[in-house]
Amino acid sequence: MTDVETDLLIIGAGPSGLYATYYAGFRGLRVALVDSLPELGGQVTAMYPEKQIFDVAGFPSVKGRDLVAGLVEQAATAHPEYFLDRTAVALKHEDDAVTIELDDGTRIRAGAVIITAGIGKFSPRPLPAGDGWLGRGMEFFVPSFAPYAGKDVVIVGGGDSAFDWALHLEPVARSVALVHRRDAFRAHQRTVEQVKASSVEIITKAQVTALYDGASGTGVVEEVEISVDGAEPVRRPAQAVVAALGFIADLGPLQEWGIEVQKRHIVVDASMRTSLHRVFAAGDVTEYPGKVRLIAVGFGEAATAVNNAAVVIDPTAHVFPGHSSEGS
């Protein structure tokens, strides 16, 4: 086992966690950052690196990967110790610290912990017809648009991811069809209208019921079968299928630590304190009256959590540290 000592431990390396890391450095704290994914950026890096984000102050729009790159550069000023591709599995309280054990046996002792775990660990909802086709023309996420150039693409789903990817792939692919089992969509109305105004074919009350590799026997998708309610199934060309059916989120071991949780979210007060002493939370993982899950909100919560954690770590410190523009 490896034992590590730090002032503040942050669990979750998405936008809120990265900003909390920077802010901990601004407060003069030693900081460590843990994430179960192998890369920084959380859900944005894993699923939406090419997506344009519109709710970050100061940016009319910013691509996901560019936002993460800026946050990583900003966080680096805190000289954090990163523990990536590792999961926090156990928590132990002491009088003046909290010790978190990781799944590789590493133990990190910190004066306070901030959980910025987003939706927790996530796994994509399966496409029944896609069983066995993953990596053979079917994918759950679209981290890059280039591989879809010149292809006939079928996207399955009716949420934000499905419509975002349809919109971005439309100028790249030869054709894009969006298949949804209902005629109502969960996606943001503005994006739905943009897709409707594009060349994307929207097929509702329908499901993709089979994938085929065609007569060539290449083992990769060449056709799909689409079944529309009340009609005979139809086969159509498709060299790429994106199953954008959402994902199953799980807070994992965090739920066994005794933290008050409501519907997979951690309950916090106005100071971002959880029900456990020395444990705070910020970002999408939190729950309180009036909660709005936006990246912009997560940044503010991260700063609030760090400032209140700083006083727990050092009772002589002040919650308000002064403005960053007042630097020497």
* pLDDT tens per residue, range 171-199: 999 999 999 999 999 988 989 999 999 99
* Residue that the structure tokens 């807070």 belong to: 251
pLDDT at 327 over 70: no
Residue 43's pLDDT band (cuts 50, 70, 90): confident
284 assigned ligand-binding residue: yes
Q: Is 199 annotated as a binding residue?
A: no
The two domains 3-122+247-326 and 126-243 share their CATH topology (first three levels equal): yes
Residue 48 annotated as binding site = yes
Give pLDDT, residue 328: 46
Instruction: Give the C-alpha separation, 273 to 106, whole Å.
Output: 25
- Tell which residue, 319, 326, 308, 265, has the closest CA to residue 116: 265
State pLDDT tens for residues 54-94: 889 999 999 999 999 999 999 999 999 999 999 999 999 98
Lowest mean pLDDT among 32-41, 246-255, 309-318: 246-255
Within 62-159, residue ranges assigned H as helices are 64-76
CATH architecture classification, 126-243: 3-Layer(bba) Sandwich (3.50)
β 138-139/240-243 pair status: parallel
Determine if residue 122 is labeled as part of a ligand binding site.
yes
Q: Determine whether the annotation assigns residue 88 to a binding site.
A: yes
- CATH code: domain 3-122+247-326 is 3.50.50.60
Q: Domain residues of the chain, as ranges?
A: 3-122+247-326, 126-243
Residue 255 assigned ligand-binding role: no
**Which residues are registered as beta bridge partners of 261?**
266
On the question of pLDDT at 317 being above 70, the answer is: yes
Q: Where are the alpha helices (DSSP H) in the chain?
A: 15-26, 42-47, 64-76, 160-169, 189-196, 295-313
